Structures are given as structure tokens and as C-alpha cells.
Chain A
Amino acid sequence: MNSPSKVPVTILTGFLGSGKTTLLNRILSEEHGKRIAVIENEYGEVGIDQALVINADEEIFEMSNGCICCTVRGDLIRVLGNLMKRRDKFDYILLETTGLADPGPVAQTFFMDDEIASEFSLDGIVTLVDAHHINQQLGRSQESTEQIAFADVILLNKTDLVKAEELDELETRLREMNRLARVHRCERANVAISTVLNLEAFNLDQVLADHPTFLEPEYPFEWTGVYALSPGSYELSLDDGPDPTMSLVMLERLDPNEEALQQGAEWCVRRYAEPASKISPGNIVPIDQHVELQLQISGQKSFAIEIDKQTSLALFAQHTAEEFNLRLGASDNAEVLPVLERTWVAQHEHDDEVGSVAIEVDGDVNPNKLNAWLGKLLREKGIDIFRMKGFLSIAGESQRFVFQGVHMLFDGQPDRPWGNEPRHNQLVFIGRNLDGNTMKREFEACLN
């Protein structure tokens, strides 16, 4: 009667009106061969047409587990305890929280209570977002921010009610808050079931399969234009724009195709890491160098570009051409149009309290220093760190060490051997008011 495998549980969060009930009904009505039990948080909620629906109250209490204390949900322990005896009647649990619920205690319940942990496994946290209202909600409520921060999957729902460019902005904002989550856009919660169930987001074996690299590339430049140029003098002109300066790297002999652009981008990232030379209007812009165009004076500003042989010149610019009305003119004043343009996901400074801190460093960490640092970090900032994931190269260990955590709960294990791969570390923290620079500096101090 008792099968040894654990029953997976998906937590469904999202504000009232974000479409949780619609999604639940979609999942339940789909032919997926799963028998799903639903735990609902709101009494009297209507519209779920399924037999095994259990109500739960929000009973949060603090539980101590040796050296750490954290909040868990007593009601869930009881309901899940009851379900354990009936576990041959279902093979999946969907746990819907109220719009105002803090996902922290819900998630922690699956790690803190021994009995629950031995029978159920937290599969993932799915957060539904009402694309039309989330911007206001994020400004007003801590809960909606936390629901974004905890998510493994963010469903940007009701996209039909919002303009495309607003959606892009919104998606960027959500991704910056939570760089670990996958974002799917949908109308009326019409997503494939596989995008929300069986994520195994807390399974360490899966953590790296899902994110071979946690970090979606972000570039210090937003726009690239590739121009086919004959030898001669050219004039780069810019009108007034949003910033008094603009960084730029120009690259020669870059073929106008995506693959070459990608390679060029990687090369330019390193150039961008170098200090920039300031170039004032009227001067020549050097090629293959990080420069910062000085745009403080108002009106049109022009810079010179000298080309000595036929080439394909790529401009990797900090801002889009549109923002500064950037144009390239030949000596006869005729405008040269780019043969290829591309925009990049740019690094942004954002205003949200909640954000992601990503640390990527080569080398081996000293396990003692790491433990001391992580212990201190979780003691001091554990409440503010919602999720973390990553892998480490620990000195003296031949295998990668992979970890994940919720608040102060930390779970880690050795992963595959490093082999010939360069040893490096990647850590992503999602939290409130995290000081990324300090965390990075402190982590680097743990390296051997």
C-alpha cells in the first residue's frame, strides 16, 4: 500500500485574479493520466470541479530544527498527514495558496517536518502574474513581490490585455527580480502542463540539468549595428539622448550574421570590462577599444571614424541607436544604413527591493571559509534570501558541489566530476535588499 516514491507537490501562488483557478481547472481537465489532489487555501472558493479538494487554513508557526528556526504551515502538515494514508489514490498534489500567502512557510514545510519530507517532495513553485495589474501590485504589496521571488516558473498571464512593449518591460522587470525563474507568457493560463508540473526544481540532480548555466547572458551594450564600409572618413552623429555619455566598442571585419555577432559580443564584453577612454565630439573614435562618448553639450554631436580598407564595421553601443538618433554619414554626407542591427538584453540598475544577485568566479573555494561566510550570510540575511541555487568548485574535491536553498534551509550534494572542465563557481541568490557587490567580494575572499 505504501509506495516508496515521494508524491510531488506543486505550489501555485499568485494574486487574486491572476488566474490560479483557471489554471487549476485546465490542469485538472487535461488528459495527463495523473490523479491530482488539490489543497486549496480559501474556504468557499468555487469553480473547481474535482473530487479530491481539501481546504486548509493558514496556520503559520515557528519550528526549530537543531540550530535553525523557521516558519512552517501546521495546517499543511495535518492535511498532508491525512493524505499520506490515501496516497495510492493520487499521484500528484497541487497546493494553491491565497493571493496574500507568503510562499516561504509553505515551501519550508516540505523540508522542516520529517514526516512530510519523507513522503512528499516539493516539485516547484509556480507564480501566476496578471500582466495587466502586476506593476501596481509589485509597488503596493510585499506578498506579490515575494511570490515572484520564490517562483521557479512565472506565468505572465492575461498578455492579451497588455501592449507588446509593456510586456517586454514587465518581463525584464520580473527576470531581474528572479533570474532563476522561467517566464512563460500566456492568455487565460493556457500553458502546456509540462511547463508547470514535474519541474523537479528542488531536486539537486535536476537543478543543473535545467540550468546548465544559471545566468542568461546579459550584455553591457544594448544595440549593435553592422555597416559595410569602403575606405574613407565617416561621421558618427548623435542627438540629445537619455544619458550624458555613451559607451561604445567598434569591431572591424565582423560578418553580418548572428553567429559572428555572438562571437563579437563575447569579445566586446571583455573590452567593456576595460576602462573606457573618454572621447569628446570632433575627435576620432579608435577601433577595438572601449570608449565613452562625451555627449554633455546639447544639440547634435559628431565623431570621426577613419576606415583604411573595405570592411564590415560593428558598433556595440551602450544604448540603442534610436535613443540618440545615432547615424553614420559618409564624407559626401550621405547616410550609411546598417546592413544588420541587433538589440541585446542589457544589464540594468533596477529599483525593486527584491532582486537577483549572481556571482560567477573561476577558481576553488576553501570549504572552511565558505561555511563561515555562508553561515554568517544566512544568519544575518536568511529572512531576506528567498531562494538560492548554484554550484561550487570546492578545493580538494574532484566533483562539482551543487546546492539549493529556501531562506535558511540549505541543501547540497556532490555532482558530476569536473574532469577537464575549467573549475568555476556560480551562485544565484534571490532576495530583498541584497548587496551584490559585498556578497561578491566576500565570496571571492573564500577562494583559495
Chain B
Amino acid sequence: MPKLVKNKARGVLQNGFFATVDDYPIAGGWGLNGKLFAVGDASGSVQSFDGTSGRKIWENSEAHVGGIMSMSVSSNGKQLASVGQDGQLALWDFADGQLQHRTEIGSGWVEHVAWSKSGNHLAVSSGRVVTILSSSGEKIWSSENHPSTVSALEWVTDQELSTTCYGRVTFFNTSSGKENERLEWQGSLVSLALSPDGNVVACGSQDKSVHYWRRSNGQDSMMSGYPWKPSELAFSHDSILLATGGGEDITVWSFEGSGPEGTTPGVLEFHKAPISSLAFSHHQRHLASGCREGGVVVWSLGRRGGGHALGGAPVNGSVENVYWRPDCRSLAAIDSEGGITVWRVKKI
């Protein structure tokens, strides 16, 4: 296990706690208004830590045989959903780790899970099929086969879900199960981000480009020339900024006015390895980024996409993901060495 990261946080980041899990952490999430932080790992274990002290609160070491694929926290922070290689969805009481329900989804990997915004529904995908479930884990409907494996899913509203697969973004009405819209583009899509206002759909593609559509007028555009595939995308809370990580630099496009077409993006330079995680804070244009050689930075961004670093801290392995606490006063990072690092974020 890695050594403790000592007192190296700078700027707005201040040391909180450091904990470890025994295998590669795949997914994390804050629950109970930031009281607990949960992590699921490649061994199939789900566990939670006190959000302030880092003390382990509960652990289910055999949550999913074969490993966790994805997790999602309900909007009220009381339920944790996990999916794994065992083809199952599990629902946990975030407070004590009690299993509430387990649902057999399919025989293959269940790769993605997401709670709807209200917390009334869950969407999961396994192979080419998306399934919608109730908050208690009862299946409501399953989609037909997508043309290929579903590579990402995200809720647009409480009644609409978007999915990506090879060459296509599909929007489903989750009440009727019907397709609302289909956006097609011949490319292997690796990431998906929706602007919180629901208007812009952005996808990163294996061919090192970002493609986006405006749903209001059907207009679409492409930004290419990334040195690395843009596997990380994040929209700011106000739907103005799209941060993209396709290399060591973060490229930020501004949708203000008639942009980003014809505008120059903001470029955030600091990381010395490809960006592996991006997350906007829930209330401000503050962006947290992590890279493959460790290192988390918090940026303050302007409306045009430019910005500067507010603080940063090293971590041991490649940063798998970063998570803002609901009140954005803490930031958690999980890394490839099994580390869970939590910093307090000073008020700016």
C-alpha cells in the first residue's frame, strides 16, 4: 500500500484525511450530505468512510463478485446503488451499509448506473440494453438492443435518459420507454456530458475529437485536434462552460453568446500527464481536475473559459476520479494505488 501523502496540499486545498482500500477503486460518492464517502473497488467491495475523520464506517467485501463497475448516490444522499461484473444491481442504505435490494440485470457486466434527479428511478446498462428501475430496485422497462454496447448514460430530466453507443446518442422517454430523439455520428463515443439546462449534448470520441449537439436547434459541431482521446468531459453548473480533457491540458469551451463556435477556448496548463478526471463544483465555476500521474488541481474559471489554479495537491497513483462534497467544502479523490484522499476546500 502507498505511503501517506503528507502535508503537501497548497492553496485552497487543505489536508483532510487519507485512507486506502485493498484494490483498485473504481467509483466513489458522497452520501448523507457529505457525512460519509463510499468507495467501490475492483475486488467487488463497497465500503464507506467518515467524511471528516476517514474512519471506516461499514464495509461489504463481497458486494459484487468480480468487481464493481459503477456506483451512484441518490439525490437525497440516503441510498447508494452499485453495479458490477456479477450482472447485478445492489441498493445500499448509505447510513449503515445494509443491503436493501439486489436485482439481477443480466449475465454480462453491468457497466453503468445512474439515479434520476428526483431519486425516483435508476437507469443501468449491461451490454446493449438499458433498464429503468424503481428506487426500490424493481425493473420497470428495458430497452431494445442498442446497435452496440452502451458506453455511457446520463439523465436529462426526470423523464428523459440519454445513452451513447458506437455512432449514436439516444434519448429515451423513461415513462413510455419510447425514443425521443436519436443523434447519429459515425464515431466510437467514449464520454458523454449534458449541460444542466439540457440543451447541449457533448461526446468525446476515440478519434480524439469532441462532438456536440444543441438540442434546441439541432446544430452540431466538432472540436478536434486533441492529443489524447477526450475521455473526460464536464459541464459547469450554469451550463456555460464545457471542460474537456484530451491530453495534459484542459481545454474549456464557453457556450456564452454564440460560442463556442468561432471562439478560442481557455487552456489550463499544469498537469504533466493526461487528464483522467474532471468535476465542476455544484455552485461555482470551480473545476477540479486529476491526472494519470497523480495530482489534483482546483481551478477558478471565467465566463470565457480562461482560468487560474486556486490550489492543488499530489496523490500517489493515477487519479481515477474526483468528487465534490454536496456543499463543495470538501473534495475527494480516488487513485489507482488504492488511495482515498479528502481535502477541505477553503471558502473562496
Contacts and interface: CB of A to CB of B under 8 A. Distances in A.
B210 interface: no
A344 B207 CA distance: 51
Interface string B58-93: 000000001101000000000000000000000000
B149 A56 contact: yes
B206 interface: yes
A78 B151 contact: yes
Contact of A85 (B26, B128, B151, B208): B26
A62 B228 contact: no
A2 to B, nearest CB: 6
B297 interface: no
Contacts of B166: 57, 59, 61, 74-75
Interface residues of A, number: 28
Interface of A is mostly: mixed
Interface stretch (B185-193, B254-262, B278-286): B185-193
A43 B208 CA distance: 28
Interface string A44-73: 000000011011111101111000000010
B196 interface: no
A277 to B, nearest CB: 63
B24 A1 contact: yes
B42 A61 contact: no
B317 interface: yes
Contacts of A447: none
Contacts of B26: 85
Contacts of A78: 149, 151, 190
A75 B42 contact: no
A114 B66 contact: no
Nearest to B166: A59
A52 B42 CA distance: 13
Contact of B23 (A1, A59, A113, A115): A1
A54 B67 CA distance: 13
A133 interface: no
A63 B207 contact: yes
Contacts of B128: 43, 57
A34 interface: no
A62 B24 contact: no
Contact of B188 (A43, A52, A77, A86): A77
Contacts of B190: 74, 77-78
Minimum-distance CB pairs A-B, first 10 = A74-B188, A57-B148, A59-B166, A85-B24, A61-B188, A74-B206, A86-B42, A59-B188, A57-B149, A85-B42
Interface of B: 23-24, 26, 42, 66-67, 69, 108-109, 111, 127-128, 148-149, 151, 166-167, 186-188, 190, 206-208, 228-229, 317, 320, 336-338
Interface of A: 1-2, 43, 51-52, 54-59, 61-64, 72, 74-75, 77-78, 82, 85-86, 88-89, 113-115
